[in-house]
A and B are shown apart, each in its own frame.
Chain A
Amino acid sequence: MKKSKNLYTVLIIILFSGLFAGSGGVKNYYQVYNAVNENVNVVDNNIVFEDNYCKIVYNLFADGGDFGFTIYNKTTRDIVLNVDKSYFVINGLVYDYYQNRVFSTTNTSKIPVQVNSSGTKKTYITTTSVNSVDTPEQASLTIPANTHRNINGYQLVSRLYSTCDLLKYPKPSEVKALTFTKANSPFVFYNIINYTVDGVSRTVENNFYISQITNLPEKMMLTKFKTTNCPDETGPFSPKSIDIYVFKDASPNSFFYKYTNSATDPRNTGISNKH
């Protein structure tokens, strides 16, 4: 009788373990956006817009999308990027690149000061010195010949795109992509970049629109591979290999918005059909 009771107990524990294991924890999901541009070249995993004077390079792949760019001076003269005449536009709404900000850098250092040296005991106190440097934002930036500058851009998406046609928490078998044309795309965005070369002001527009949105469970977005430690790093307590998770299909014209199935995650509550 006692044996069968033990057996029942084991069975019950196994059954409930399945229930607890199945309930899992908070799961991660990714809303993946694919952007399209009509006259674009993809070179070395970057989106490249080029004219006779400069080359503008984008890589949107980041959480929320990164619309920052790198501008290369192809000429043997200086190019002046007119930040105050450059804009980011999304769904018709314009944002300025030049905002007349003041960037502040603060260095804090502690200096020991001797206050008592009687006998063999020396007592120190520390005084804190703070050096702050304020740098005003520049309305125009010079790019010398054959050099380049990185320009910080705007984040493209700050809320989850939600529609009845797109499952928020899909299983791998339920994953479905929503496709759009330029006319019905939920996000149409571009940079207006103004620069001066040889005293002539020129403006370029780098246009994009979102052509596809897909919600993916984490296991479809990331892939795991093992890396082995260098021989000198392998001690008795360090692992021989480390699991690293990387994005399966990272591309310069796509970006993602990470969210969870947690009710308290503020990232999964936003609903937006338009920016």
Chain B
Amino acid sequence: MLLKVFIFELHLNILNLMNSKSFLKVSVHIILPLIIGTLIYAFFRGIPLINMHRWSDLNPPHFIIYNLPDALWFYALLSSVMFIWEYKTSKNFIRWFVLIVLLCLLSELFQQLKLIPGTFDYKDLIVYVIAALLSLLQLSKSNNNYYSKQKITL
């Protein structure tokens, strides 16, 4: 029953999204970074079974191959959470936002301490912080727009 309600709500939300201006927001701040990050990864690092990296003869800087996809995906993740919470700085949203940023930074530090697999890269920490700041900027812009609209209505 709960699942049915959830799927119905999700369906409504998607319909609402398709019919509203927020579709542009989702495209620019979630879908586009996701696609660009995935394409960089696929072309220069390779995705199993697809092996697109063999088609590319370019040799871009290390930062673009190894840090930019993570930054774009992290930005998309934070934008998705902001979208879910309707760009309102509620207590719940702040909790989730802080939790995600902390988890991301800690996962990188745990790699350095060899507690989890992976290679620590200090540039990853920097790009995560930049992505978080950019998403906060996006949030403040959305809130400003919201309040300015409210003023006009008043």
Chain A residues within 8 Å of B, Cβ to Cβ: 2, 4-9, 12-13, 16, 19-20, 23-26, 169, 171, 261-264
Complex alpha-carbon distance, A208 and B121, angstroms: 42
Q: Total A-B residue pairs with C-beta atoms closer than 8 Å? A: 58
Residues of chain B lying within 8 A (CB to CB) of residue A2: 92
Contact of B80 with A12 in the complex, beta carbons under 8 Å: yes
Contact of A169 with B46 in the complex, beta carbons under 8 Å: yes
By size class, the interface of chain B is 20 to 34
Could you pull out 23 A-B pairs where Cβ atoms are within 8 angstroms?
A: A2-B92, A5-B85, A7-B6, A8-B84, A9-B81, A12-B80, A13-B100, A20-B70, A23-B45, A23-B73, A24-B117, A24-B118, A25-B111, A25-B118, A169-B46, A169-B53, A171-B48, A261-B45, A261-B46, A262-B62, A262-B66, A263-B44, A264-B62
Residues of chain B lying within 8 A (CB to CB) of residue A19: 73
Contact of B77 with A13 in the complex, beta carbons under 8 Å: yes
Complex alpha-carbon distance, A16 and B77, angstroms: 7
- Look across to chain B and name the residue whose beta carbon is closest to the beta carbon of A164: B54
Chain B residues within 8 Å of A, Cβ to Cβ: 6, 9-10, 41, 44-46, 48, 53, 59-60, 62, 65-66, 69-70, 73, 76-77, 80-81, 84-85, 92, 96, 100, 104, 107, 111, 117-119, 121
Complex alpha-carbon distance, A7 and B77, angstroms: 15
In the complex, the 7 A-B pairs of residues with the closest C-beta atoms, listed nearest first:
A25-B119, A25-B118, A16-B77, A264-B62, A8-B84, A12-B80, A26-B119
Contact with B69, one of A6, A9, A23, A262 (Cβ below 8 angstroms):
A23
Contact of B84 with A9 in the complex, beta carbons under 8 Å: yes
Residues of chain B lying within 8 A (CB to CB) of residue A171: 48
Complex alpha-carbon distance, A190 and B121, angstroms: 43
- Look across to chain A and name the residue whose beta carbon is closest to the beta carbon of B111: A25
Complex alpha-carbon distance, A150 and B62, angstroms: 42
Nearest CB on A from B27, distance (A): 16
Most buried by A among B45, B48, B121: B45
Nearest CB on A from B4, distance (A): 12
Residues of chain A lying within 8 A (CB to CB) of residue B10: 8
